[in-house]
Amino acid sequence: MTSLQSLVRQRRAAALIGLAFAAVLELVVFNLPFWQTVGSSSVTVPDSAVAVGSGLRRSKQGFVVTKPDPSLDIRSPQILQYLRFNDAPSAPAYQTIWYSVGIYYGNNLTFHQGDSVLPLSTGAPRSQYVNVGSYVSHVSISFPRASVGTVLPFVSVTLNPHVPFQLDAGRIGLMLFFVLMAVLLGPGSPLYHERLDTRSRPQLALLALMTALLMGLYLFVWLMPDNAQEWVGQNYIPSIHAWGDQEQYARLADALIHHHLWLDLPVSPQLAALSDPYDYARRAALVAAHPNVRVYLDHAFYHGRYYCYFGVVPAVLFFVPYQLMTGQWLGSAPVVLICALASAVFTALLVVRLASLNFADASLGMTMLAIWMLGLGSGVLANVFVAEFYAVPKTAAYLFTLIGLWCWLMALPGPDGRRARPRRRGFVKSGKGVAEENSSKGKNISAGASDGAAASLCSVSPWWIGAGSLFLAFDLGTRPQFELAALLAVPIFWDSVFHDRALFSRQGWKPTLAALAPFILVFVPLFVYNAERFGGILDFGNEYQLTCDDPQIARFSKIGVLDSVFLYLFQPPTLATTFPFVGSGLTATPFWLFVDALPGSFFVSLAPFAAVLFGAPWLLSARHKARISSRLRDAGHGLGASWRAFSSLVWTNVILGIVVLLVDCRLGGAAQTYLGDFAIFLVLAAVLVVLALCPAGVVDKQDRAGFLAKLAVDVLPVLVMAAILLQFFWTFSCTRGGDVISADPANYFAVQNWFLFLQ
């Protein structure tokens, strides 16, 4: 890259247009209620002047609900634009009230009830403005979710109030973020024509900026539902007659510190006496008959004791050291955040390594975009949002997988020549080849010396390969689904094993030992851990779960797995015209499945950019082999070998993603938090395809491949920014677990109020 000044000069017009558009949105569109009510004549009427519909009675604190679906009848001598409910002095700090607007039209003879049910809150003054449409003078405000006995703490209603002008820092920051993304990565950016150079400081600054922005997104999603305060302690769940323990990992760490493997939880004698404690119906009946009996959900119950059947590695790496150093228990939410932020860093490192190691003409812009593709499409945002103890093994395994794969790629000689010549990777060059090369350069080096020099320069690094194996081995004791990532060693080290004999050979015994020893060192203690708890080295305790069904019985129909596949991959999102504009897209299934709220599916909502995978068979076909091979770095065995290594890495990721998807569908149903199990493999494959499709430099549009490359450069940034926007709004959906409106209403209404003109 010539300089950052060149980028600024070429994208100045795009930046000015983006800033002007953001200014219009902030000053005009988002403040439209202010401009609509500048000249309005506001009138405040006390509650005595508001006609009480059915189901309400007045009190000093406001209106008391006496019947279901209560309503207020409001008339005005002038056309109504907005109403404002004014709190009673005794109103609580935050009380969410759901309302719906009905209107009378046609000389007040015809009534129409609106379909939208919207929230307002006593602690968010701007949320108490109600948009009634600006074309009627008689409205009915109903409260469909208010239960009998609830107090609606309103003392007066202001008709046509003056809505104040508001400049919102969060809204401005979000718009500036999208302007920055559009300037750097939008269609027409010169960064797509710039070759990736990891020795360039301006390029490193841009890559660091992408990483920081991704970390900022993770932090924002983590902060919205107040995770630090939300997921602590124990809570009773009446709907399933069981208790939840959000400190399960801290309790496991405490058990390990005190030299036992079972959890220090009280065991009810009635539960231990059940002939089949895994039968949910029997447990529910027991709790209903004996309310003092505590049954802890999602624990393994074996021989009268509770165990944690989630991976033990996070407890050893995070929770045990923290307790030993501080004497306090570590919460799950901070661990999830730490893993997520660290994963953003290794997302960037892994993508940059994949691009620079495989392609001589990798595009800087596409590499930056690929960082967002992996960071968004991996499914980690769902775990960051609901940072309960369930999310700990998922985010930790995701982090370990990224680190492990990056270390393995670092074990291969890189393209920058810092450790080895880029002509080969993962191999020992023959003495004859070195002698011939040196003789062509006028150097006189003996074959024996050349052998030693080549071996020292070109063999795989045992330190990097050992570090990668260690982190990938952690997956088995964290979330075993991610352990399949270790199979990516086959395409990564194929040449090192079968061509160069740098692994699994006499001269390659050090890297071979480094590759295998970490798996042995980690797997053996995990097997002993399983045997000590449940009597079998491969028994992780899944069959002893206390869940809402019997884990010892096959739960889902094999045909029903197809329904889960559809929900995971192709279910469209449910869009709405009111905040947060995104709901859960669920489809009725003919067979019973566990189905969680999903914001659409992988290819439609979470990672629409990953749809490039459907073009992979065409792009990676024999017809285009020569085109792609000419762009691959020669690993020392010819471009054909480089082609096989690259294409096999793509297809191995696809196959692993499909395998994990089918296993999760068969055993777990369809849930948002399971998306990450297979998403990482599919997105890694999509990243490789995009890097192969879109080289740096001017894109030739004379043939189909060039046209598709240009189309990808124009469309993929739009899809990435659309995915960011969709994930942003899905954060505020009230149909997902751990919703913001319940966990932290201040954050919810702060963003909902941006769209007063639409509600």
Q: What is the pLDDT of residues 444-488, one digit of tens each?
A: 333 333 344 344 334 788 999 999 999 999 999 999 999 999 999
Percent of the chain with pLDDT over 70: 89
- Quote the strand ranges of 549-640, DSSP E: 574-575, 582-583
Better pLDDT: 549 or 748: 748
pLDDT band at 47 (very low <50, low <70, confident <90, very high): low
pLDDT band at 264 (very low <50, low <70, confident <90, very high): very high
Whole-number Å distance between alpha carbons of 314 and 399: 11
Tokens 């598709």 sit on residue: 708
Cis upstream peptide for 89 (omega within 30°): no
Helix, strand, coil shares of the chain, percent, nearest 5, are 55, 15, 35
> What mean pLDDT comes out for the span 31-36?
92
Whole-number Å distance between alpha carbons of 504 and 502: 7
Cβ proximity of 271 and 286 under 8 Å: yes
- Quote the strand ranges of 123-224, DSSP E: 129-142, 151-152, 154-159
pLDDT at 135 over 90: no
Whole-number Å distance between alpha carbons of 329 and 315: 11
Percent of the chain with pLDDT over 90: 44
The predicted pLDDT at position 701 comes to: 58
Whole-number Å distance between alpha carbons of 24 and 492: 50
Q: Over the range 515-554, which residues count as b (16 or more CB within 10 Å of their CB) and which as e?
A: bbebbeebeeebbebbeebbeeeebbbeebbbbbebbeee
pLDDT at 375 over 50: yes
The predicted pLDDT at position 2 comes to: 52
- Rama region for 696: left / alpha / beta (φ>0; ψ in -120 to 50; rest): beta
Dihedral over alpha carbons 467, 473, 479, 484 (to 10 degrees): 100
**Following DSSP, what letter does each residue of 230-291 receive, concatenated?**
HS-SEEEEGGGTEEEETTHHHHHHHHHHTT-SS------HHHHH-S-TT-HHHHHHHHHH-T
Other Cβ atoms less than 10 A from the Cβ of 152: the count is: 24
Domains in the chain and their CATH numbers?
40-165 (2.60.120.260), 234-326 (no CATH), 332-412+460-747 (no CATH)
Most confident by average pLDDT, 9-13, 307-311, 652-656, 709-713 = 652-656
pLDDT band at 588 (very low <50, low <70, confident <90, very high): low
> What average pLDDT does the chain have?
85
Whole-number Å distance between alpha carbons of 128 and 23: 26
pLDDT at 724 over 80: yes
Instruction: List the beta bridge partners of residue 582.
Output: 575
- Alpha-carbon Rg of the chain, whole angstroms? 30
The pLDDT tens digits for 314-370 are 999 999 999 999 999 999 999 999 999 999 999 999 999 999 999 988 999 999 999
pLDDT band at 61 (very low <50, low <70, confident <90, very high): confident
> What mean pLDDT comes out for the span 97-106?
88
Whole-number Å distance between alpha carbons of 605 and 573: 7
Of 13-17, 52-56, 383-387, 701-705, the one with minimum mean pLDDT is: 701-705
pTM of the model: 0.90
The predicted pLDDT at position 416 comes to: 52
Instruction: List the beta bridge partners of residue 142.
Output: 71, 100
The predicted pLDDT at position 524 comes to: 96
What tokens were used for 688?
A: 């490789």
Of 235-239, 482-486, 655-659, the one with minimum mean pLDDT is: 235-239
pLDDT at 550 over 80: no
At 584, is the secondary structure helix, strand, or coil?
Answer: coil
Instruction: List the beta bridge partners of residue 75.
Output: 138
The pLDDT tens digits for 489-543 are 999 998 888 888 888 888 889 999 999 999 999 999 999 999 999 999 888 888 8
pLDDT at 407 over 80: yes
pLDDT at 431 over 60: no
Instruction: List the beta bridge partners of residue 85.
Output: 157
Residue 5: enclosing H or E segment and its boundaries?
helix 4-10
